[in-house]
């Protein structure tokens, strides 16, 4: 399997945030991870990126175990995360925010090329390159943090609640962006979302986390039709 978490258990002191979580992703897939507040979605991403050491279980990417590697090495292998809450650097320019995503790279020509690619993908970001990032709207900031993650040239992109706090029209833009990045740049995606409707619409498969364990899993279209999922996550 291209990417897999096997029987992950993650604890914060006495709280068990994840218990025996297994999930898989094939190359080229968008996999959604949905679930209520506190179900363990962010914790799953923190374990994958090496920010939180699992108490048990394994994480595999492209044939190697990665769960003991330091976060920078995990980025180098091709996994980048867009954290929850759009952690932009508000006092830095948009351009410098984007360049922070390339901090592990040395190939200046490649960095320049990727920056140009991002300008094509996000014309609104290009218009605001020399502006302080903190002055952008929420949707524009989300585009900058996605752009920043793309500057690391990821093969697998982890997105933590990209639609949080955005107006419906902006959520649609972000959804399209994720689909485009997946299709055109061939980036696999794990999408964590409270907006289950959007997540199930754009993902190929999905997992439902319920208080630290996988409750349901399957093709997103099937889950969107499931009574339990509809009642609990899609508002009936």
Cβ proximity to ligand ATP, 33 vs 150, nearer residue: 33
Cβ proximity to ligand ATP, 41 vs 148, nearer residue: 41
CB of 161 to ligand ATP, least distance (A): 7
CB of 37 to ligand ATP, least distance (A): 4
Paired strand residues for 4: 24, 60
Cβ proximity to ligand ATP, 9 vs 132, nearer residue: 9
Paired strand residues for 159: 82, 191
- Compute the distance between CA of residue 39 and CA of residue 166 in angstroms, rounded to an integer: 22
Binding residues vs ligand ATP (CB under 6 A): 12, 15, 17, 35, 37-43, 194
Cβ proximity to ligand ATP, 115 vs 206, nearer residue: 206
CB of 46 to ligand ATP, least distance (A): 7
163 Cβ contact list (under 8 Å, min separation 6)? 170, 171, 174, 175, 193, 194, 195, 198
* Residue 77 CB-density burial (10 A; 0-12 exposed, 13-18 middle, 19+ buried): middle
CB of 42 to ligand ATP, least distance (A): 3
């Amino acid at each position: 399997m291209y990417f897999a978490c096997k029987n992950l258990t993650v604890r914060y002191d006495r709280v068990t945030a994840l218990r025996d979580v297994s999930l898989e992703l094939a190359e080229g897939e968008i996999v959604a991870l949905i679930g209520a507040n506190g179900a363990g979605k962010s914790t799953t991403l923190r374990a994958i990126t090496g920010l939180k050491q699992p108490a048990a279980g394994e994480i595999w990417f492209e044939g190697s175990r990665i769960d003991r590697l330091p976060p920078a090495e995990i980025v180098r292998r091709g996994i980048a995360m867009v954290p929850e809450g759009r952690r932009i650097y508000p006092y830095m320019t948009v351009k410098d925010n984007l360049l922070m995503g390339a901090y592990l790279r040395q190939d200046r020509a490649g960095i320049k090329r990727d920056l140009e690619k991002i300008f094509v993908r996000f014309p609104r970001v290009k218009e605001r390159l020399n502006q302080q990032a903190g002055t952008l709207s929420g949707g524009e900031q989300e585009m900058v943090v996605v752009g920043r993650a793309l500057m690391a040239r990821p093969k697998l992109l982890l997105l933590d609640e990209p639609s949080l706090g955005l107006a419906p029209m902006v959520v649609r833009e972000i959804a399209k962006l994720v689909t485009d990045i997946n299709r055109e740049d061939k980036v696999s995606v794990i999408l964590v979302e409270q907006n289950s409707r959007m997540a199930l619409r754009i993902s190929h498969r999905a997992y439902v986390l319920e208080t630290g364990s996988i409750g349901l899993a399957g093709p997103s279209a099937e889950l969107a039709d499931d009574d339990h999922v509809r009642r609990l996550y899609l508002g009936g």
